[in-house]
Amino acid sequence: MQAKIEHYRVFKAVADNGNISSTARELYLSQSAISQSIRTLEDSLGVRLFSRSPRGVSLTADGNTLYEYVSGALSLLEAGEVRLNESRELLRGELTIGASNTLTECYLLKYLKQYHRLYPGVKVRILNGTSKRVMNFLNNGTVDIAFATTNEKDERFESYLCFKTHTAFVAAADYPIDFSKTYSLKEISALPLILLEKEAGSRRFLEDCFLKKGLRLEPEIELASYELLISLAGIGLGIAGITEEFSGDALRTGTVKKLKLKAKLPERAVSMLSPKSGSSGMAARKFMELIRTP
């Protein structure tokens, strides 16, 4: 196929120039090589493409028909090559990332800003969802990279550990509870809890931790938005189960205070996931390089 495309390139150049010798100079080939290429193409198609005269060559009726298609096809190929080159140089392209709203805001925002400054021609899309959902996105090719909180390595993907997270229970500073006391998980489960909805990865994690102790969580308030956890706990509506790394401002300013726990809850890992095949495009590879750069 590659050889035939070269024959078509020679054919178009000869048709445009109307002369074999000038085409040979243009393409840095010998006149005999140009003539042989045309003969090979004519033999393969079973038609004459050019009429020859002392003044040069001109297209036959069959040659004119072929020229219309070859001209359009080569133009498309050239446009494709230009587009690929632009994509390789990241003058343009697309990058689709899967991550939760919280991870996007609390972790990815600075990298997205830096990436856009470096590669303004790349269109970036963010598909939000739970960790389970964005991992499904990655598995079916909907996103190029996924950021998810996981407890176990998923053999379907390449994984890079971004950071560890820690779970805590917090309440407003003036909430009627003894902050000096150390609470058991059983005592925590009996408090008026504010948790994320059951589909959220952090909620499933908490459910598992408590179920291992034979305890069930029955929150008074369930939310789809992580940001509201802090807000509602901050106004005294209950005890929120939060991720410390995503709640630094509220903890630092004293909007909420941590309850002491007798049992230390396991750490969780936020990882960057990419296809196992290593088939990520240049736009995705450059973003992953930013994440990996200290």
Q: What is the per-residue pLDDT for 294?
A: 77
Angle at 25 between CA 19 and CA 28, to 5 degrees: 130
**Second CATH level (architecture) for the domain 167-266:** 3-Layer(aba) Sandwich (3.40)
Q: What is the per-residue pLDDT for 276?
A: 84
Q: What is the per-residue pLDDT for 291?
A: 95
**Is the full-model pTM beyond 0.85?**
no
**Tokens standing for residue 188:** 């925590």
Q: What is the per-residue pLDDT for 292?
A: 94
Fold matches, 93-163+269-292 and 167-266: yes
Q: What is the per-residue pLDDT for 56?
A: 82
Q: What is the per-residue pLDDT for 236?
A: 96
Beta bridge partners of 169: 241
Three-state DSSP state, 15: helix
Q: Which residues contact 183 (CB under 8 A, 6 or more apart)?
A: 169, 259, 260, 261, 262
Distance (Å, whole) CA 143 – CA 134: 8
Positions in the chain short of pLDDT 70: 1-3, 79-80, 82-91, 278-279
For domain 93-163+269-292, the question of CATH label 3.40.50.620 is answered with no
Q: What is the per-residue pLDDT for 19?
A: 87
What residue ranges do the domains of the chain occupy?
2-88, 93-163+269-292, 167-266
**Tokens standing for residue 148:** 């998810």
Pairing of strands 93-99, 145-150: parallel
For domain 2-88, the question of CATH label 1.10.10.10 is answered with yes
What DSSP string runs through 205-253? HHHHHHHTTT-----SEEES-HHHHHHHHHTTS-EEEEEGGG-HHHHHH
